[in-house]
Amino acid sequence: MTTVLVLGGAGYIGSHAVKALMAAGHQPIVLDNLSRGHRDAVLCPDFIRADLTDRKSLDGVFAGRRIDAVMHFAALTYVGESVEAPEKYYINNVVGCINLLSAMREAGIDKILFSSSAAVYGNPREVPITEDHPRDPINPYGMTKYIMERVMEDFSAAYGLRFVSLRYFNAAGADPDGELGERHDPETHLIPSVLMAAGGISEQITVFGDDYPTPDGTCVRDYIHITDLIDAHLLALERLNAGGTGGCYNLGSEKGHSVNEVIQAAKAVTGRPITVRIGPRRPGDPPTLVASSRKAREDLGWRPAHTELSDMVQSAWRFMIKRGTVR
């Protein structure tokens, strides 16, 4: 059994990680400031309310517990907000993570799984995107992820930190039990936003641009089911526990789906009409982002099991129905 400190364990991805860790026989401890997470999404008994920017609190967490490894999901993640409020993002995502790494080093903890993003790549020069693609972020959010990857590389060389950085494409869906799912406020992810329009919570869904050089003119993205995403984290943890090397890995389904295809899938799953408004392009939105996840398959033995878009939409809809989010 591995004791894992899960930073951001009250959030969308972190809460799913906690549930999977418990199912695999590990012992998670959740640390979250609850600024954007939900206390009722924390399914393990050991919860600490604290902030990564509070170094004294972090030192106390590590001093009072045996911790074998860390999973770090406690980042701010809204691209648009990062452009408007970069200071907030650099303090939380960079200063907070450096505090964490420093506290880990003093406590003698050398294993961390880091929640990174395809945003480190910026505008793709080739598709599918491999891990060798240049890192050239185009917004502060992506830059904070890039900086922390560089910091971990330096900590690895200087102090022996063993890290795995998992670069997500578009996490989607909910756990099979409908117990956990996306609950962002505001909601910016496409699939729950479309389902909110189907469920009468919002009047319409806005499509930002329909004149891209894609088959139907709308942006194409790679969606990865949340349970497959978390499976990769557990495999990476096993690799580090066994003494294996770390590294950076893309996590995607390797399938591209346009915004229009997501809307059509939501109509099919819900059986409801969805009002669509065409808006202007958003600055910095590449036409197509699709992952190559070959490295994760080869090194980690990762085999995503839910790569169909309809599966992701269906699980998200089931979660929203169960919670009474939609009518």
Q: Give catalytic residues, as residue numbers.
A: 141
Question: Is 1 within 8 Å of 26 (Cβ atoms)?
Answer: yes
**What are the DSSP E strand ranges found in 8-151?**
27-32, 47-49, 69-72, 111-117
Task: Of 224, 233, 218, 245, give the one whose Cα is nearest residue 162.
Answer: 245
Contact 256, 220 (CB under 8 A): yes
Angle between helix 55-63 and 96-107 (nearest 10): 30
Q: What is the C-alpha to C-alpha distance for residues 112 and 7, in angstroms, rounded to an integer?
A: 11
Tokens of 95: 């200063």
Q: What are phi and psi of 228, to 5 degrees?
A: -70, -40
Element (H, E) at 234: helix 226-241
CB of 81 closer than 8 Å to CB of 42 = no
3 state SS of 33: coil
Q: Please give the structure tokens belonging to residue 211.
A: 């004149």
- Is 191 within 8 Å of 273 (Cβ atoms)? no
Q: What phi and psi, each to the nearest 5 degrees, are found at residue 166? A: -105, 115
